[in-house]
Amino acid sequence: MKRQRIVLLAFVLYLFILVMNKRYEFRLFIIRSSFKKRNDYTTNQRCYSSDLAKNKQGNKFGKILNKAFYTVHPRVILQYGRPRTASTLQFQILCILVAILHEHENNTVGCYFEPKLKKLHLDRYTVIKTHSLDLYRLPSDSWIFMTSRNNQHKHDLKRIHNLNLTVPFIADLSMTKILGHSIVYKYQSIFRISDEQMNHVAEYFRYWDILRLCCGTQMSKNWRTYLINKTQDAYIQSQCKNYNISEIETLVMKTHIFKTFTHDESIHDVIGKPSQVDGDLNGSYCQRCNERISKRRMPRFDESCV
């Protein structure tokens, strides 16, 4: 009888250990799955715009990461694209998204356009815009975001592949023209930004995208031609005729992004301007710039207008 009790006790103990072990294995699976989710954008997989367009991810996990200040991007991000491929738009998007992720950390994000290599000061998190891949030796975990026109990126991808660097997203100009400012949502799952934050970003770029075309030293060719020559063809072809540029400038200044980040010294030269070579928006900058281009007949791209 005593022996039967011992056998029964041993059997119960075995069942208990078996159940507990299964629960441990299940929890271990959950932990591993969560860890994999947190790191699926730090691998060297290359995602193209067509693939990301099909990949729609919820925002719940993104909100958790933001609350925990969990970094989902490397220290250095390079934006590479040839001129006139909407590279400035992508650079602005990347700068703002990284700034949002570190909104509560003062002056930890720096955004720069082709800084001199010898003078390059790497902030805790750095976003660099460049038109050349030969300028920088990047840390091995860096990301390179690209812009392209008519599949120009294919040759560059071979070089980047040899460097074993991650390319999370390639924005072709044709896609950018179709999506306009709403292209910002293509970056949401990469940086795991919450819906609320992305809506702030989209609001900012809704108005900034108009300023980019109709204001500043890098405005569209059609609108500059109209301002200088007042030709009917240029006027008809440009979207700028539909906007009061001073009102749009004011709307930009009222956005959450503008009010939150334009006073941050480390990114002041990027956020809140039509381009990096323009002056600060103040409610009248665009009108004064456009009037000067028209009056002085300034045809040159990148020439200071104020």
Residue 61: per-residue pLDDT: 29
From first to last of its 306 residues, the chain has per-residue pLDDT tens of: 556 666 666 666 666 655 455 443 333 333 233 323 333 332 223 333 333 333 333 333 222 233 333 458 999 999 999 888 999 999 999 999 999 999 888 788 999 888 765 456 667 899 999 988 776 678 888 999 999 998 777 778 887 887 778 999 999 999 999 999 999 999 999 999 999 999 999 999 999 999 999 999 989 999 999 999 988 888 888 999 999 999 999 999 999 999 999 988 888 888 989 988 899 999 999 999 999 999 998 877 767 887
Eight-class DSSP state of 12: H
113 C-beta neighbours (distance < 10 Å), count: 18
Q: What gap in Å lies between CA 147 and CA 167, rounded to an integer? A: 11
Tell me the two tokens of residue 81: 């694209």
The string over 29-62, giving b where at least 16 C-beta atoms fall within 10 Å of a residue's C-beta and e elsewhere, is eeeeeeeeebeebeeeebbebeebeeeeeebebb
Provide the whole-model pTM: 0.74
| Helix, strand or coil, per DSSP, at residue 99 | helix
**Structural domain boundaries in the chain:** 44-193, 195-306
Question: Which residues, including other chains, have CB under 8 Å from residue 271's CB and lie 6 or more apart?
Answer: 92, 95, 96, 99, 111, 257, 258, 261, 262, 264
Tell me the two tokens of residue 4: 């039967």
Q: What gap in Å lies between CA 23 and CA 35, rounded to an integer? A: 18
Residue 135: per-residue pLDDT: 60
147 C-beta neighbours (distance < 10 Å), count: 26
Q: How confident is the model over 89-141, as pLDDT tens digits?
A: 999 999 999 999 998 887 889 998 887 654 566 678 999 999 887 766 788 88
Residue 33: how many CA atoms within 13 Å on its side-chain side?
7
Which candidate, 162, 173, 22, 151, places its Cα nearest to that of 87? 173
Query: Is the CB of residue 65 less than 8 Å from the CB of residue 192?
Result: yes
E strand intervals along the chain = 76-81, 109-113, 125-130, 143-148, 170-172
Q: What gap in Å lies between CA 201 and CA 90, rounded to an integer? A: 13
Residue 287: per-residue pLDDT: 95
